[in-house]
């Protein structure tokens, strides 16, 4: 358990340091071109997910995401006793990752975002992004578990661009990004609807998993 919690803390922290840091760097170098800044935010995020899931997956499962951990408990793949410690490690790791990114770019460590992300389209996007992420993970578990790091990295890379919300798809990530008034931030008032939408997407995914990925009977 201790190794798993350390892995979840480190993995989520490094993920957020990448999300926030690459957003800052992308915006600084893009010269006002938002599409270029988003691309600079997207590619490092997909890349770091591949790395982190590859090296930490054997330790903790590399969830880095309360929605994923909850889904694993609901499907019997993880004991319920591990859920609360996992979520605490993920959320604290995420916030520390945000602070690390701020420190690297000489920003104020403590910030609150003013970037509003609001509206039905954004919430539908978050439900869709989380639905797709869970289907990617469970489909990988069913058919090609060694490919999960690549599958998740590529899915998030794509979802940054096909969802209007840029695919947070993660309650810990959403909460932590409220503490960064940078390119990848989200205003605190926008956090709760995003998390609700993510949990809805998770629920739909779990309803589909046994229908789509059920083992065929002989």
Mean pLDDT to the nearest integer, 10-16? 98
Asked whether 61 and 149 are in contact (CB, 8 A), the reply is no
Evaluate if residue 119 carries a pLDDT over 70: yes
Of 20, 3, 17, 144, nearest in space to 62 by CA:
3
Spell out the residues 6+ positions from residue 153 whose beta carbon is closer than 8 angstroms to its own.
46, 47, 49, 50, 53
Band (pLDDT 50/70/90 cuts) for residue 171 is: very high
Give the fold, CATH level 3, of 2-212.
Glycerol uptake facilitator protein (1.20.1080)
Distance CA 177, CA 164 (A): 17
Asked whether 177 and 187 are in contact (CB, 8 A), the reply is no
Q: Domain ranges in the chain? A: 2-212
**What pLDDT is stored for residue 217 in this prediction?**
64
Mean pLDDT to the nearest integer, 118-134? 97
Output the pTM of the full model: 0.93
**What pLDDT is stored for residue 214 in this prediction?**
84
Evaluate if residue 17 carries a pLDDT over 60: yes
Hey, what are 142's tokens?
């069913």
- Average pLDDT value for the chain: 96
Q: Strands, DSSP E only, in the chain?
A: none
């Amino acid at each position: 358990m201790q190794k798993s919690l350390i892995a979840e803390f480190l993995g989520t922290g490094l993920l957020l340091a990448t999300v926030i840091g690459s957003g800052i760097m992308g915006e600084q170098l893009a010269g006002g071109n938002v599409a270029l800044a988003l691309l600079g935010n997207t590619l490092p995020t997909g890349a770091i997910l591949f790395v982190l899931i590859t090296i930490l997956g054997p330790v903790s499962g590399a969830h880095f995401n309360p929605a994923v951990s909850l889904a694993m408990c609901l499907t019997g793949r993880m004991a319920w006793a591990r859920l609360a410690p996992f979520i605490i490690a993920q959320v604290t790791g995420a916030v520390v990752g945000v602070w690390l990114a701020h420190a690297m770019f000489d920003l104020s460590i403590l910030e609150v975002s003013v970037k509003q992300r609001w509206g039905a389209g954004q919430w539908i996007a978050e439900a869709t992004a989380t639905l797709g992420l869970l289907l990617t993970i469970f489909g990988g578990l069913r058919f090609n578990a060694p490919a999960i790091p690549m599958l998740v990295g590529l899915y998030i890379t794509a979802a940054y661009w096909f969802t209007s919300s840029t695919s947070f798809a993660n309650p810990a990530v959403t909460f932590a990004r409220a503490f960064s008034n940078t390119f990848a931030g989200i205003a605190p008032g926008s956090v709760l609807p995003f998390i609700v939408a993510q949990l809805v997407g998770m629920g739909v995914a779990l309803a589909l998993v046994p229908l789509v990925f059920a083992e065929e009977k002989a």
